[in-house]
């Protein structure tokens, strides 16, 4: 199935999968938003008037305040995982449902760093690319998560393995949601494609050591995940540990979590 201009097949999957496109006229709601290329520091200069000149720093501060986190590296980790979840969801969903993925080059994606979760993304132009694992990995890992990780590590004391673990966790979460939707709606073909593509993606060198895909005993689907690092959410007041965390309970005293 060819990509349609609105990527309408993603909408029933939920807000993490939906992608707004196109941004509209020059005076439309996304016209003043920064691109992700600007957020990663890939384009010089400042954002347009009325937009945060440093959208990534703004987002990290916003997430840190919302969580009441004691340090910004926790906000950086959670912000990165939230954006990773959006990017994996859109790309995996398109690859499975359409058989192709849109070109999500950072310069084509506009982002509202002041929006609530999930991250608000607008694609300025829909251009189809192949939906194979290599293209999906290049789109998300090479195109976004590696430059995002570099930008965050330049500012915050966040271990590379922790951010890779967040990327693996976000991919597994997107696959799990896609698998659940497929089973609920009687689409075993979609569930099978999602599992197969996810398993292939986890062989990528940047993801292979982030954790282990497990069989979910409730569904017999290979979309459960146990990561080898921690996203630091346990350090948020009342946060606890996530369902795929390497810890079974919050560490009592450790300023640094495993990096994978």
Q: Determine what percent of the chain is predicted with pLDDT higher than 70.
A: 87
CB 99, CB 63: distance < 8 Å: no
Q: Name the token pair of 176.
A: 């799990």
Residues in the chain: 260
Cα–Cα dist 174/129, whole Å: 20
Residue 257's pLDDT is what? 44
**Helices (H), ranges, 72-220:** 72-97, 133-137, 146-153, 160-184, 188-201
Q: Is the peptide bond before 14 cis (omega within 30 degrees of 0)?
A: no
- Do 63 and 149 touch, CB atoms closer than 8 A? no
pLDDT tens, 27-69? 566 777 899 999 998 765 544 544 567 999 999 999 999 999 9
Q: How far apart are CA 20 and CA 7, in angstroms?
A: 8
- The pTM assigned to this predicted structure is 0.89
Tell which residue, 43, 2, 32, has the closest CA to residue 122.
32
Q: What is the pLDDT of residues 117-169, one digit of tens each?
A: 999 999 999 999 999 999 999 999 999 999 999 999 999 999 999 999 999 99
- The pLDDT of 11-34, averaged and rounded, is 79
pLDDT at 151: 96
Structure tokens belonging to residue 203: 């062989």
Cα(65)–Cα(46) distance, integer angstroms: 24
* Element spanning 123, H or E: strand 120-123
Token look-up 């192949």 returns 130
Torsion angle of C-alpha atoms 160, 195, 214, 142, degrees rounded to 10: -10
- SS3 label, residue 129: strand
pLDDT tier at 215 (50, 70, 90 boundaries)?
low
Instruction: Give percent above pLDDT 90 in the chain.
Output: 68
């Amino acid at each position: 199935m060819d990509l349609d201009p609105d990527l309408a097949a993603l909408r029933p999957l939920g807000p993490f999968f939906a992608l707004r496109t196109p941004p509209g006229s020059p005076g439309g709601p996304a016209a003043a938003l920064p691109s992700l290329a600007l957020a990663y520091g890939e384009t010089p200069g400042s954002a347009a008037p009325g937009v945060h000149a440093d959208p990534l720093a703004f987002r990290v501060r916003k997430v840190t305040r919302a969580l009441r986190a004691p340090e910004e590296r926790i906000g950086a980790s959670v912000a990165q995982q939230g954006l990773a979840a959006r990017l994996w969801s859109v790309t995996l969903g398109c690859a499975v449902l359409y058989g192709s993925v849109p070109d999500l080059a950072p310069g084509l994606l506009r982002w509202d760093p002041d929006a609530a979760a999930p991250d608000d993304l607008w694609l300025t132009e829909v251009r189809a690319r192949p939906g194979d694992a290599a293209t999906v990995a290049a789109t998300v890992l090479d195109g976004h998560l590696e430059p995002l990780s570099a930008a965050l590590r330049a500012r915050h004391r966040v271990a590379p393995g922790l951010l890779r673990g967040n990327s693996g966790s976000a991919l597994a979460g997107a696959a799990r949601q896609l698998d659940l939707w497929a089973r609920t709606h009687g689409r075993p073909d979609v569930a099978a494609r999602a599992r197969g593509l996810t398993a292939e993606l986890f062989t990528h060198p940047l993801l292979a050591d982030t954790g282990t895909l497990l069989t979910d005993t409730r569904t017999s689907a290979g979309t459960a995940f146990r990561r080898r690092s921690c996203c630091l959410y346990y350090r948020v007041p009342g946060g606890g540990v996530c369902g795929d965390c390497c810890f079974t309970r919050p560490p009592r005293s450790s300023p640094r979590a495993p990096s994978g």
